Structure 1
Amino acid sequence: MDLYEHQAKELFGRHGIPVPAGRVATTPAQAGAIAAELNAPVVIKAQVKTGGRGKAGGIRTAAGPVTAEVEADRVLGMDIKGHVARSVLVETATVPFEEYYAAFLVDRAEGGFLAMVSSQGGMEIEELAATDPDALVRLPVDPVAGVDAETARALAAKAGLPEQAAETLEKLWRVLVAEDALLVEVNPLICTTDQRIVALDGKVTLDDNSAFRHSWEQEEHADGLEARARAKGLNYVKLDGEVGVIGNGAGLVMSTLDVVAGAGAAPANFLDIGGGASAKVMADGLEIILDDPDVRSVLVNVFGGITACDAVANGIVTALELLGERGHGRPIVVRLDGNNAEVGRRILSDARHPAVRQVSTMDGAAGTAARLAAGA
């Protein structure tokens, strides 16, 4: 479960990590009142579970209560990559002297934990890794030994962070362990002009399997794509790309995301319809994906097993009938393989739906979806 920034910072505060003073507002009037209480210039930050808030205009500064109310009114209701800002974090504006990056995460590839720290914070970590990989220190963390004070000091020194940042790194590791987190990230972690280390932002992903040990509740909004998908019983995660992806089985969907990326496009979502690829499930999935304004093409990648491909094909045909004109706007690439694949392909061919293109291989289907998303 991803936490909102204000939830992550509340969690940081429990573990002694300094964060700016602030509270959450759901109306412009509340934002103004919080700014008045803080009695200082503030930052209004959209609370959405996606990146790119600043570039989208979801982070604004305000000199006082009146300006805070105006800026909050601009941010509330803003759509940022399919996530609608229904609340804002109003917090004291903190001027950084230096900005850093710090994260601890589960490294699935190595079956352990990984620390990532850099003296260059405030930018997308993917961009930093691509443009200046030497600026990002990566250090495997022994799950038994963990990160003690000595390890934290060594990590800070290697990354070029000031000595006082080591204590915060140690506490961030404690957050990961104590809260059963899969990811704890601060970007930027700052040093102020008076040499204080402050977490100016926060991103935390908790392990859903540990929910019984914790009290965090899902804080979703009724019109968010992920919330709507959850209400329909769909396993859906919004991503930042342009190719919508539907598959049956988490492993197959993850592989599909990789193949789409390898074809030069970016997946817009993770959507696993599981084994019950009925017409209703398919219609619900397509509805969610086609309501995402970032989606330019859709890739349906199904391997027939318990649910045969002819049932999946009938589900797609029925789903497109149910969606009507909404199913015509963007191309839908379908790859069927496995149980009754030939029958399923014939059903789709006979339907002659103008939005549907069939491709027999996963690589070919991903390449076709990528080209269509690019307008080729």
Structure 2
Amino acid sequence: MDLLEYQVKEWFGKIGIPVLPSQRIDHPTDLKRLKIRYPVVLKSQVHAAERAKAGGVRIVETTIDAIAAAQTIFNLPIWGELPEVVLAESKYDAKQELYLAVVLDTAVCRPVLLGCKEADIDWESAGEKMEYVVVEQEFSPFYARRLALKLGLEGTLMQSISDAIEKMYQLFIQKDLDLVEINPLGVSASGQVMALNGKVRVNERAIGRHPEISQMAAKIVKSHGNSENNGHGGKWDSGETHGKIGILGNGTGSVLATLDLVVNSGGKPGLCLNLRHAFLSDTAETTFCDRLDTSLKILTADKSIQVILINLLGSSSQDTELAEVIGKFIQQDKTEIKPQAVRSNGQRSRRDSGSPRLVVRLAGSEFDTARKYLASLKTQSDSPIVVENLDEAVAESVRLAKSTVSKR
């Protein structure tokens, strides 16, 4: 989850990283009460890159110009995203600009400090100019000074930038982040340093451990409920196509393998969700069964989904509860569809029947209780199909999806 610039600047200011005087603008008329001296820079608060080239950054000298510019920015989509907030910030004249970052290197499983004496980085050749220091043990100011020395800095500038790197690392650890970036870090003629722009990427696994971040995530989901991942997971924990078979799995590999098999069998997968991790919208700790219940509701709300394929492999400490969640979902569906009309040909459509058909693949001895419980529910034609072989489960899902289409 990436934060917007004004949120990043708030975090920077609290931890002691130098930032310019700024003010959040929710409506152009807010500029009538601006507390910052002109000239002022207005910045569109969107996640898309290259705001300046798209017209999302404007320098203004008066209140009238500022209101007119803000009206334009609020109505300017950048890569399809309209800003809900504009950041007003003091103009800063930088003599020099640098790039600094703290990033989690998954290859070595350690934080890495990055620095470059050029802020406008060509990432294709960044390896030639970028300096780095791997934080191999418990962090100390030594690591920050080492990076500053590698950048060729000296004197008070080396100390100022070392201090900024230390604060970046503190933020990185405190908030469970994947990335803290200052680009650019401006240096004035007097040697003063200033974070002119920043980027923060939160580790999605850690959102639930930080109430402040959980609230941010919940607002993002509320505002962008129809986003690519439907707001319910990170890019590795959910995927969305526009097919008729929804997929639930207990691991990234499980979900992707199931998706591939559905495609290879001639089916069209829809929304896929990984039950192993919490959703971005979860503001409190959740269990596996909580996420299963939520996921079933999410897929049911998607009227394009005809079949839900649940693929669970391995073990579960909530075997009985898992079966009860599925059973409750089925019984609730039956209750809801009783008063609804049946089509003249005697077959209910997906929209008429309320919920999609269920195909459940449970592999592993730990799921014996769940299998027996679900098998006992086979009293009607639309009860769940429970199998242990994944190929069989995929074949049944594709068959059901195609038969539902042919009946409509």
Q: TM-score range by the shorter chain?
A: 0.5 to 0.7
Cα shift at 1:19? 0.7
Judged with a 3 Å threshold, the aligned counterparts in structure 2 of structure 1 residues 139 and 109 are, in CA distance, closer, same or farther, namely same
User: Do structure 1's residue 166 and structure 2's residue 162 form an aligned pair?
Assistant: yes
Within-5 A mapping of 1:313-352: 318=350, 338-350=391-403
Cα shift at 1:280? 6.1
One-letter identity of the residue aligned with 1:218: M
Cα shift at 1:237? 4.6
- TM-score of the pair, normalised by structure 1: 0.64
Within-5 A mapping of 1:1-376: 1-34=1-34, 37-123=35-121, 128-142=122-136, 144-146=137-139, 148-160=140-152, 163=158, 164-207=160-203, 209=206, 212=209, 215-216=212-213, 217-218=215-216, 220=219, 224-226=223-225, 235-237=232-234, 248-249=248-249, 251-252=252-253, 272=273, 274=275, 281-282=298-299, 304-305=311-312, 318=350, 338-350=391-403
Distance 2:303 2:226 in 1: 15
Identity, % of aligned positions: 22
Judged with a 3 Å threshold, the aligned counterparts in structure 2 of structure 1 residues 12 and 277 are, in CA distance, closer, same or farther, namely closer
Distance 2:303 2:135 in 1: 41
Distance 1:251 1:190 in 2: 41
Judged with a 3 Å threshold, the aligned counterparts in structure 2 of structure 1 residues 58 and 286 are, in CA distance, closer, same or farther, namely farther
Conserved? CA contact 1:20–1:198, under 8 Å: yes
**What SS does the corresponding residue of 2:216 show, helix, strand or coil?**
coil
Q: How many residues are paired up?
A: 296
One-letter identity of the residue aligned with 1:107: D
**Higher strand proportion, which one?**
1
Distance 2:92 2:172 in 1: 25
Kindly provide the CA deviation profile for residues 85-131 of structure 1, in whole angstroms up to 9, marking residues without a partner as x.
111110011122222211112223322212222122144xxxx3323
- Any stretches of 5+ residues in structure 1 without a counterpart? 260-269, 288-300, 308-316, 323-336, 354-376
Distance 1:352 1:211 in 2: 40
Distance 1:79 1:48 in 2: 9
Judged with a 3 Å threshold, the aligned counterparts in structure 2 of structure 1 residues 12 and 271 are, in CA distance, closer, same or farther, namely farther
Distance 1:149 1:286 in 2: 56
Structure with larger Rg: 2
Conserved? CA contact 2:309–2:393, under 8 Å: no
Distance 2:124 2:256 in 1: 23
Judged with a 3 Å threshold, the aligned counterparts in structure 2 of structure 1 residues 193 and 351 are, in CA distance, closer, same or farther, namely farther
Distance 2:14 2:391 in 1: 51
One-letter identity of the residue aligned with 2:30: Q
Kindly provide the CA deviation profile for residues 308-334 of structure 1, in whole angstroms up to 9, marking residues without a partner as x.
xxxxxxxxx948x99xxxxxxxxxxxx
Cα root mean square deviation, aligned: 4.2
Judged with a 3 Å threshold, the aligned counterparts in structure 2 of structure 1 residues 155 and 84 are, in CA distance, closer, same or farther, namely same
Distance 1:180 1:277 in 2: 26
Cα shift at 1:27? 0.5
Conserved? CA contact 2:116–2:130, under 8 Å: yes
Judged with a 3 Å threshold, the aligned counterparts in structure 2 of structure 1 residues 203 and 278 are, in CA distance, closer, same or farther, namely closer
- TM-score of the pair, normalised by structure 2: 0.59
Judged with a 3 Å threshold, the aligned counterparts in structure 2 of structure 1 residues 229 and 200 are, in CA distance, closer, same or farther, namely same
Judged with a 3 Å threshold, the aligned counterparts in structure 2 of structure 1 residues 28 and 111 are, in CA distance, closer, same or farther, namely same
Kindly provide the CA deviation profile for residues 26-77 of structure 1, in whole angstroms up to 9, marking residues without a partner as x.
000113432xx21221111122344343343322221222111111111224
